[in-house]
């Protein structure tokens, strides 16, 4: 079986609010972000994960993370 694949391991998107907005609520910095890890694998392989091949192993976990960074 063909084990060729393309995997996108990590995508992160964030936005930092402008300082003129954050100063009004007494914050120095306010950033929102989200990330996807091990979320997209493009392959014709029928098993769980082409990186593992035909071995009996668990595929990489998919993670979705959302967060907020605050600086006072």
pLDDT single digits (tens) 12-52: 999 999 999 999 999 999 999 999 998 888 988 887 778 77
- Is residue 18 one of the residues assigned to a domain? yes
**Does a structural domain hold residue 51?**
no
Assess contact for 8 and 39: CB atoms under 8 A: yes
Give me the residues paired with residue 43 across strands. 5
Q: Does residue 55 fall inside a structural domain?
A: no
Residue 19 lies in a domain: yes
In a domain, 65, yes or no: yes
In a domain, 67, yes or no: yes
Does residue 12 sit within a domain?
Answer: yes
Q: Which domain holds residue 20?
A: 5-46+60-71
The predicted model scores a pTM of: 0.71
Q: Answer for the pair 70, 27: CB distance below 8 angstroms, yes or no.
A: yes
Residue 53 lies in a domain: no
Which pLDDT score, from 0 to 100, does residue 47 have? Answer: 76
How many domains are contained in the chain? 1
Q: Could you give the CA distance from residue 30 to residue 14 in angstroms, rounded to a whole number?
A: 11
- Where residue 10 falls among pLDDT bands split at 50, 70, 90? very high
């Amino acid at each position: 079986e063909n084990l060729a694949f393309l995997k996108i391991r990590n995508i992160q998107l964030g936005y930092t609010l402008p300082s003129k907005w954050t100063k009004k609520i007494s914050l120095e910095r306010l950033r929102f972000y989200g990330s996807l890890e091990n979320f997209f694998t493009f392959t014709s392989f029928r098993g769980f994960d082409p990186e593992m091949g035909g071995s009996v192993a668990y595929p990489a976990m998919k993670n979705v993370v959302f967060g907020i960074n605050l600086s006072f």
